[in-house]
A = this chain, B = another copy of it.
Amino acid sequence: MIMLGMICIRACSRLAGCRTATRVRSVHSITGITAAQIDEEVAKLLELKAQLGGDDGKHQFVLKTAKGTRDYNPKQMAIREKVFNTIIGCFKRHGAETIDTPVFELKETLTGKYGEDSKLIYDLKDQGGELLSLRYDLTVPFARYLAMNKITNIKRYHIAKVYRRDNPAMTRGRYREFYQCDFDIAGQYDAMIPDAECLKIVHEILSELDLGDFRIKVNDRRILDGMFAVCGVPDDKFRTICSTVDKLDKMPWEDVKKEMVNEKGLSEEAADQIGEYVSMQGGMDLAERLLQDQKMCQSKLACAGLSDIKLLFSYLQLFQVTDKVVFDLSLARGLDYYTGIIYEAVLTQAGVAPVTAEAQNGAPGEESVSVGSVAGGGRYDGLVGMFDPKGRKVPCVGVSIGIERVFSIMEQKAEASAEKVRTTEVQVMVASAQKNLLEEKLKLITELWNAGIKAEVMYKKNPKLLSQLQHCEESGIPLVAILGEQELKDGVVKLRVVATREEADISRADLIDEIRRRTSEA
């Protein structure tokens, strides 16, 4: 304990040097202290704190996962695997490669990419060395990867966990650790072809996952910015007004307008003009109509966006997905880095989903109730350039599947369904009714494993037949290979079908083929 005090004194006396700093105007010329010295003192103080903590009363051990995180149990993992297979299958069908990046990045890599949301980034403790942060999404690491490796063309998917120190509302399927499933196309290509493929992919995935009806809303940042300009929003208010528009899927128009006028200081007139535009929804026809709109036409930016929306819809028609896609001028999306087309998919069937938000566009209850976003994305042509020393741009467009919400829905469906979720794929249980047959069972299961059959045996010398059969019932194992003295003598195995309790003697030589035949997916 005397030692403790000494550390403390040493820490203080070293720091005394920094008092002189008041007299100098430049940090550079503080002679008494350096960053390394501060590190040292900080380490000592933290050590002192650790020792204080160690003595501070009885420590209560809490058995839990970190706030906002969860374990996945085997059942949840089985569902997760199924969902991933569907999604990865689609990404591969579209010719995507995959990459992986570390879970943490240099802190500065993430700095200045997320606007206000930066406060939600998890930082690692400074334990000496680099300052690190957990990734907040997969898009910024992707852009860093492209710039670092000077890649100008790639179509890749990336499925991994990202981290946000958000206020978790876990009952609604929101976590601080959660998966993102991203598909992105980087490269200088002809307009709207990759953008249309991203929407085709969302359409395929949501259809295949069978989550109920959905709608994909599409808009363009340039149309939004142009609209703000022609409605008389001052340039420096585009961003903040945009983030207010983004709330239209959760708030009625009246409240959104109030925020614009009262909080953000927009004129009532400008707000009303915006209100008129953001209530518009349609398809290619709407884009054509707006291209004729006297006011909208004043903005070249908006016109470029509208022409692209038109082109996009022509490709979407060829892809046969226009049934679900809506051009919706109220769609804004929060992230700073979007530069063109943006989109968001929402489930429109009530009942299946965890979130019941207010309906759209100031008419609560008028339309089918939105149940929250399950996919979103857009074009971000400037992000990679932020990482390139020479600012060279690599145009990108991508989509992120909101997989956690999909998991929630699938879990609820599994709960509700009578069908049991299997957590293993075991085809056969090697069992015996008599004692002292462990050796024979191990010999048999070795044959099965070596032939690639998925098989289990109980880790008991003499388990009861009943408990062996019960295990099969519980885990959904379809077959039991039963060994007994008689079977060994006859060179056969009694193969039992768990569901029907049918039994048949199968010669040892035919067993593997017979198991394969009976368990092959028809």
Contacts and interface: CB of A to CB of B under 8 A. Distances in A.
Contact of A148 (B39, B64, B104, B144): B64
Interface in A251-304: none
Interface stretch (A11-19, A216-224, A336-344, A513-521): A11-19
A490 interface: no
B454 A97 contact: no
Contact of A190 (B2, B154, B425, B459): B459
A71 interface: yes
Counted per complex, copies of this chain come to 2
B190 A460 contact: yes
B38 A55 contact: no
A25 B200 CA distance: 70
A242 to B, nearest CB: 27
B454 A93 contact: yes
B27 A55 contact: yes
Contacts of A190: 459-461
Contacts of A102: 65-66, 69-71, 177
Contacts of A144: 63
B21 A8 contact: yes
A106 B1 contact: no
B18 A1 contact: no
A404 interface: no
Secondary structure of the A side of the interface? mixed
B26 A5 contact: no
Interface in A433-471: 438-439, 442-443, 446, 449-450, 452-456, 459-461
Given A64-B148, A74-B156, 5 more contacts: A5-B18, A27-B52, A74-B97, A103-B177, A123-B125
Interface of A: 1-2, 4-6, 8-9, 11-12, 15-16, 18-19, 21-28, 30, 33-35, 38-39, 41-42, 45-46, 48-49, 51-53, 55-56, 59, 61-67, 69-74, 77-78, 80-81, 92-106, 108, 122-127, 129-130, 132, 134, 144-145, 147-149, 154, 156, 161, 163, 165, 177, 185, 187, 189-190, 193-194, 197, 200, 204, 315, 318-320, 387, 389, 423-426, 438-439, 442-443, 446, 449-450, 452-456, 459-461, 475
